[in-house]
Amino acid sequence: MTEPKRELHLGLMFWGTGTHPSGWRWPTAKADAAYDIEYLQQVTQLVEKAKFDFLFLGDKLASEPGLQTTNPAQMSRLEPFAAGASLAAATSEIGIVVTANPTYYDPFTLARLFASLDHLSGGRASWNIVTGADPHAAANFSRDAHWDAEQRYDWADEFVGIVKDLWDSWEDGAWSPDAASGRALDSSKVHALNHKGQHFTVAGPLDAPRPPQGHPIILHAGTSDRSRELGARDADAIFTSHATIESAQAYYRDIKDRAKKYGRTDADIAILPSLTPIVAPTTAEAVAIYDQLNGYLALDPEDKAEGPGAFGGRGGAKNRNLTTASKAFGVDLLGNDHDAPVPSDVLVAASEEGQRLFAEITRLTRRTVDGPERITYRDLIIGASRGTSTVVGNPEEVADYIEAWFTERAADGFNIFPAYVAGAVEAFVDLVVPVLQARGIYRTEYAGPTFRHHLGLARPDNRLLARARAAAEQKTAV
């Protein structure tokens, strides 16, 4: 049997100020974009026109002023369900991903919210499941402490199953209003759950018909063993982040292999690493944009201790100084002028990871320790604190990077992290998307109106009916 042709998937991570810590300082950026819903709608319409699979709305349940120096977009933003509903009204095809942490919700409320969004959007809702690693969230929800990972995943495993059952508590066709007969519902097709588990007691049924997609698309991110297991079992797409194509390939294969024990195929789960593309018509222009963005970053004193992980961009809070860079490169860099060129003996003395970071800096800046364009100590500081995978170049170079990860099974697509909004989004859509389409790896039209169509996924069977049939068959067999 011939394997269906793979198709590249693209989503946009929307942070109002961009995903680069200084993206909000870019000359054309809109610093107050996080609260301008018309602007958010316009950006979403832009990537819908480019046939992106989804627009991604993240969330964070704790905030503090320190985020303004690591990623201001995580410090303050709109509640994602409210924002997602506004996007549903302004678009017609693109998937709408809303982040919701089950640790701080109850299953009935969350099932109802996503069922509602799926109905309002015509089958485009998606739940990004996070269990949360920010200990400060607990204090905002009347809890003494944030649960450890095992407790959070024990909770989430039961939680996700209940939500899916609630979505299935109405059979397809149960809601059938008939004014002539005076009946709006076929009550034989609406079922209670009467769930009594380790953490939850939920009677059901849900107070909404089965969602148009059956189940809204489920996404998940994480690298721990429990996270990988949840993703392999329940997720339709998985977000991840990797510094090298080799580590991405290993993660890709691990998730796909784990999914097999749940009766799932490679095509049932899309692996979507994050990617920050900085693209311009020429390589030199793209490198200049990258350098200008980094030039806005304030560097920390060398004696400043590394900050807590809770308040960093995407989970990290590495200080931008030569102390942190020294640890990353495995060589003492203290006392050097930030704008001075780095001598070649520093590269020779660097650790294996440090030498990898040097190669990354060269890939992004085209500078070396012994060429006409020299790597500086500032480059090392930026290289040591950079998070998301980044590609800098002209349209063909950026497309080459994306195609290599796709064809070599390191990714099924990417969650695009624009450095600044909306200019970086426009550049990617105008310059890179046509190249990917011309190469035949990215769609020119949507396959259908729902998010499931974009991912090539069938509408799932009703879980409650499947269990009832299995129980009946077993009884008959006895």
Note the pTM of the prediction, 2 decimals.
0.94
Helix (H/G/I), strand (E/B), else coil: 182: coil
375 with 428, same domain: the answer is no
- Give the angle 240-244-247 at the CA atoms, nearest 5°: 65
Q: Domain of 19?
A: 9-280+394-464
DSSP bridge partners of 218: 127
**Residue type at 151?**
Q
| Residue 217 covered by a domain | yes
Please state, in angstroms and rounded to a whole number, the distance separating the CA atoms of residues 343 and 369: 6
301 with 226, same domain: the answer is no
The pLDDT tens digits for 252-304 are 999 999 999 999 999 999 999 999 999 999 999 999 999 999 999 989 888 77
380 with 411, same domain: the answer is no
Question: Of 335, 362, 387, at which residue does a domain stop?
Answer: 387
Number of domains in the chain: 2
201 with 335, same domain: the answer is no
Question: Of 387, 412, 428, at which residue does a domain stop?
Answer: 387
Contact partners, residue 327, CB within 8 Å, separation at least 6 = 384
**Longest distance between any two alpha carbons in the chain, whole Å:** 87
Please state, in angstroms and rounded to a whole number, the distance separating the CA atoms of residues 17 and 75: 11
CA distances from 338 to 85, 227, 289, 334 (A): 46, 39, 19, 10
413 with 297, same domain: the answer is no
DSSP bridge partners of 273: 240
205 cis-preceded (ω within 30 degrees of 0): yes
Question: Of 368, 387, 406, at which residue does a domain stop?
Answer: 387
291 with 275, same domain: the answer is no
| Residue 351 covered by a domain | yes
132 with 55, same domain: the answer is yes
**What is residue 376's DSSP assignment?**
B
Blockwise average pLDDT, block size 10, the chain, 478 residues: 80 92 90 88 98 94 74 78 97 97 96 98 97 82 90 96 98 91 91 96 97 98 92 96 93 97 96 98 98 93 62 54 96 97 98 97 97 97 87 98 98 97 97 98 98 97 93 80
| Residue 334 covered by a domain | yes
Alpha helix (H) ranges present in 25-133? Answer: 37-49, 80-90, 107-121
248 with 341, same domain: the answer is no
429 with 304, same domain: the answer is no
Contact partners, residue 398, CB within 8 Å, separation at least 6 = 277, 279, 391, 428, 431, 432, 435
381 with 400, same domain: the answer is no
423 with 372, same domain: the answer is no
CATH code assigned at 61 = 3.20.20.30
| Residue 478 covered by a domain | no
